[in-house]
Structure 1
Amino acid sequence: MKDSRRVFILIEVTLAGILILVTAAMLREYRGREPDRIAVILQEPDASRWAAFKYGLRAAAEDAGVDVLIVSAGEQPDAGEEETALEREIVNGADAVILQLHPDGGTVGLLERIDGRVPVMVTGCPSFAKEGVSAAATGPDNYAMGAALAEELLADCGGSLAGRTVGLLSDMAEAEEGKDRESGFTGALKEAGGTVAWSVQNSGQDGWEELLEAQEPVDFVICLDDSSLVAAGKEAGANNLHGALVYGIGHSTEAVYQLDMGNAECLVVPDEFNVGYQSVTEVARRLQSRFYDMKDTTVSHIMLYRETLFSRENQELLFSMSQ
């Protein structure tokens, strides 16, 4: 009996020793392993509208222990250029990709062609159609932001727009997001009267002044994205909008400046910090476990007003936009 007990104890000690050795070897391997690398492909990544988003990327990368590399797809890339940039990053060893939704609708086809090669997260529009591909999406509720803009306009007009006209302005670079925002805005105005006199888009940094000059005068210019808000704000500040009031969606320091200068009545701001943070967090979880299914994430938005712009509750938001 004593011999059996000794054998049992000897086996336990041996197994414990093996476990310690295996654990130590795994730890050495983990510590010597390079962090996973996530490539983030953006149009004009140095533009200020990406500041809060990139701040969120960096914060999440530090928390998750991954490396993030921000890559430019060009100033106005088409779907082919975007795919070239993505292929290049995969060949160069990217373990996952975070991709800006392309305005011409080519993103879904691109996702179908690379599906399964690396995990992919799409930013900007959680509601975009992506059936049949494994990519996830992170972004604000664009329909809700458009509706919030309409509700604010209606509140300022006493609940009715009868006899008044509206112009809608947007940037081609955010065309997919703009569709939902426009639907949300016009849907909330159905019973309020008023007329949408025009809906126009521009592409790139130039040409906004000429585009707005070519439109008939309206009572309100509704800007569906950051670039159009900044452009319309500048034109309002120069008295080139025939007295039209500007309402819009934006998330850059330039957009906040237009609000602060009184060139915009209010600003709907999506939480771009969390778009970046949640995108990296979900991708990092997928890289840690091949069995993890990345989830679509919808982030919040808030309304900014000139009168309370620099209040304590807005300080964290303004800080993230300036990073």
Structure 2
Amino acid sequence: MKSNRNLFILVVAVLLSIVLVASTSALIMSGVREDPVRISVVVDDSGSTRWASFLAGLEQAAKDNGVKLNVVPTGRNFTLKQQQMAINDEIADGADGVVLQIASSRGTEEMISEVSNKVVLMLVDTTADMDVDVEGKSACIDADNLAVGRALANEVRIAFGNDLSGHKLGIVAGNQKQNSLIERMEGFNENIASSGAVVAWTDNSIVDVSERIEICQSQEKADILVALDNTGLEAVCDYALRTGDKFYIFGEGTSIKNVSYLDDGIINSMVVPNEYYMGYQSIVAIMRRLDNKLTPMEDQKISYRVVNRENLFDESNQRALFPVVE
């Protein structure tokens, strides 16, 4: 009787093990499919050359992984509501994953939770408010933006022998609703504080930026202008060319337009995040999650480089600035 009971317990244990293995395998293999994976990309002003390196990374990763990629056409300064509508349309059309540069980092918990419960979500360029995600259904890949801000301040300090006494700064701060730009501002202020420079003005406009710079300069003129993002850097250079006003220019930039301004000597120094890697790794991370639901997504940081007129044509800088999809 006892041996029969032991046999029964053994059989039940084996059956439970089989069920557990089968369930786990089904979960792991849930990402395996016959149709190509579809990943949609929603970023601000998607047609801007500011995204050239990023898009090249996305396209290369999509090619390497057999992904059907769709970059959603967007205008400049897309709102959170517009982004959510675009994402819902992509999910309805069968998207398996979404790469998103979120318009604002504040009050985004509900939106991020809703999207990541339907598809795999990778934030790029900036972090955002989100609920605790113990399953790792979403993540963010961006630069160390505190370090980018510090690097910009360091370039200004180097250019003036570490003594900026008597110099005035104008800061084009960009969208201060995004964590990335908030952190860059923090890093810049932290590193420039002891230099002796005075901040004449700070502007965080996201529309008519070049015109806003002109207004700020008319009120209190700065001889050093610093832009915390690519759009602001283009606007500073456009203002300089339009008015003939003379000042030193530093900033973060990724577009061909800003590379041209650097080559022409209009920009003194530019910090360039590795957005090719940001694009490539976004696809890789989404695919890893789709292939194995037990693998949580993890935040990642991308590197950056400092480029000036002297090192612009170094081979490594050329590869970073002008990546080629093979």
TM-score normalized by structure 2? 0.83
Distance in 2 between the 1:236 and 1:166 partners?
15
Distance in 1 between the 2:93 and 2:46 partners?
19
Instruction: Choose the corresponding residue for 2:169, options 166, 169, 172.
Output: 166
Q: Offset at 1:131? A: 3.9
CA separation of 1:322/1:188 partners in 2, compared to 1, >3 Å: closer, same or farther? farther
* 1:210 alignment counterpart: 211
Render the CA deviation track for 1:76-127: whole Å, top value 9, x for unaligned: 221111111111111111111111121362433310233322110000025x
After alignment, is 60-69 or 82-91 more displaced? 60-69
* 2:235 alignment counterpart: 231
Given that residues 50 and 252 in structure 1 are in contact (C-alpha distance below 8 angstroms), is that contact kept between their aligned partners in structure 2?
A: yes
- Does 2:45 align with 1:44? yes
Equivalent residues in 2 for 1:1-323 (5 A)? 33-103=34-104, 105-126=106-127, 128-133=128-133, 134-172=137-175, 175-204=178-207, 207-215=208-216, 216-241=220-245, 243-320=246-323
Q: Which runs of 5+ in 2 are unaligned?
A: 1-31
SS in 2 for 1:189: helix
CA separation of 1:315/1:228 partners in 2, compared to 1, >3 Å: closer, same or farther? same
CA separation of 1:275/1:178 partners in 2, compared to 1, >3 Å: closer, same or farther? same
Distance in 2 between the 1:107 and 1:68 partners?
25
Given that residues 165 and 196 in structure 1 are in contact (C-alpha distance below 8 angstroms), is that contact kept between their aligned partners in structure 2?
A: yes
SS in 1 for 2:183: helix
Given that residues 170 and 227 in structure 1 are in contact (C-alpha distance below 8 angstroms), is that contact kept between their aligned partners in structure 2?
A: no
Distance in 1 between the 2:248 and 2:157 partners?
13
CA separation of 1:106/1:77 partners in 2, compared to 1, >3 Å: closer, same or farther? farther
Q: Percent identity?
A: 30
Given that residues 97 and 120 in structure 1 are in contact (C-alpha distance below 8 angstroms), is that contact kept between their aligned partners in structure 2?
A: yes
Distance in 2 between the 1:208 and 1:113 partners?
33
After alignment, is 273-282 or 150-159 more displaced? 150-159
Given that residues 168 and 199 in structure 1 are in contact (C-alpha distance below 8 angstroms), is that contact kept between their aligned partners in structure 2?
A: yes
Q: Name the amino acid aligned to 1:310.
A: F
Render the CA deviation track for 1:257-310: whole Å, top value 9, x for unaligned: 111111110010000100100111000000111111111110000011112211
Given that residues 202 and 211 in structure 1 are in contact (C-alpha distance below 8 angstroms), is that contact kept between their aligned partners in structure 2?
A: yes
SS in 2 for 1:278: helix
Q: Name the amino acid aligned to 2:125.
A: G
Distance in 2 between the 1:211 and 1:185 partners?
21
SS in 2 for 1:39: strand
TM-score normalized by structure 1? 0.84
Q: Name the amino acid aligned to 2:161.
A: G
After alignment, is 138-147 or 171-180 more displaced? 171-180
Distance in 2 between the 1:223 and 1:113 partners?
34
Distance in 1 between the 2:97 and 2:202 partners?
37
Q: Offset at 1:312? A: 2.0
RMSD of the TM alignment (CA)?
A: 2.1
Distance in 2 between the 1:306 and 1:322 partners?
26
* 2:11 alignment counterpart: none
Distance in 2 between the 1:174 and 1:50 partners?
20
SS in 2 for 1:137: strand
Given that residues 173 and 203 in structure 1 are in contact (C-alpha distance below 8 angstroms), is that contact kept between their aligned partners in structure 2?
A: no
Render the CA deviation track for 1:210-250: whole Å, top value 9, x for unaligned: 21111121121000010111111122234543x22110000
Given that residues 170 and 224 in structure 1 are in contact (C-alpha distance below 8 angstroms), is that contact kept between their aligned partners in structure 2?
A: yes
The count of corresponding residues between Structure 1 and Structure 2 is 289
SS in 2 for 1:320: coil
SS in 1 for 2:170: strand
* 1:4 alignment counterpart: none
Distance in 2 between the 1:321 and 1:179 partners?
32
Q: Offset at 1:199? A: 1.0
Given that residues 252 and 321 in structure 1 are in contact (C-alpha distance below 8 angstroms), is that contact kept between their aligned partners in structure 2?
A: no
